[in-house]
Structure 1
């Protein structure tokens, strides 16, 4: 009887591990839980980056509207690269959505959520199904590797002068007070 209980417990643990590994929502749930207890906080430190022009880096929304980052000078840009199949992306979405809701009416802050797969239909449905309000875009030009190297999720914040102010690869809790204060500081600066 003892042998049977031990095997059942082992089987249950293996099954749980397999679910976490192969089910994106289960993995996202686990990562989200870790974010809520304090893991996955982005460091706010000015990255060392070469001066670069944002002109010509373009994104298209579901309505066909093009946005060129170079045209957004004078605004803080919150740029997030993600994909619907990415568990860390799914894990950080609730916090990113909360941050977006806080700043969506701030004319000094622009949010761009770039679907790395470029499937606007799928990503728009994903957002709608989860009741997220974030505007979805697809990449319409080359993006320099200093901005996006292919790691998902990647979040970049540019200040009003178009300078790289934050770059974070991996999941993070963007509803954290440090990020909110950081965006407020950037949006109020000249």
Structure 2
């Protein structure tokens, strides 16, 4: 299945980022909400991965599901408090989250270089399982 396209504002730069910008490279897309303990743990592990990964081989994007936050600035405030530097896209409510048929947070979606969804991991998936999926991409 081809991944649903999106264009969302990036938190750190306020630039609009589109999925189409990453055509030709695999992408790991993680949907999160700041109040969720599973999201907090997942983002901590993925931040460590982001700091050491080869960013030419895999693009890592997160999507703050603003429609699942208590207040609009909860996600951005959490990211700044944690000093996470990975790209954070701000969903338009739950529009992108819904387009990817997410059922909870965190949800991680792996896309191949043709922007086809090759795997989806829900909130019960382990970081190890996700990394095994990534190993088939890069």
- Normalised to the residue count of structure 1, the TM-score between the two structures is 0.58
Q: For residues 144 and 88 of structure 1, do their structure 2 counterparts lie closer, same or farther at Cα, with a shift above 3 Å needed?
A: closer
Higher Cα Rg: structure 1 or 2? 1
Structure 2 unaligned regions, length at least 5: none
State yes or no: 1:186 paired with 2:137: yes
Q: Name the structure where helix makes up a greater proportion of residues.
A: 1
The Cα RMSD (Å) is 2.7
CA distance in 2, matches of 1:109, 1:73: 11
Higher strand share: 2
Distance in 1 separating the partners of 2:90 and 2:114? 23
Higher relative contact order, chain-length normalized (CA < 8 Å, sep 6+): 2
Matched, 1:135 2:87: yes
- The 5-angstrom pairing of residues 110-129 of structure 1 reads 110-117=59-66, 121-129=73-81
Distance change (3 Å), C-alpha of 1:148 and 1:69? same
Aligned to 1:75: 25
**Aligned counterpart, 1:98:** 48
- State the TM-score, normalized to the length of structure 2: 0.77
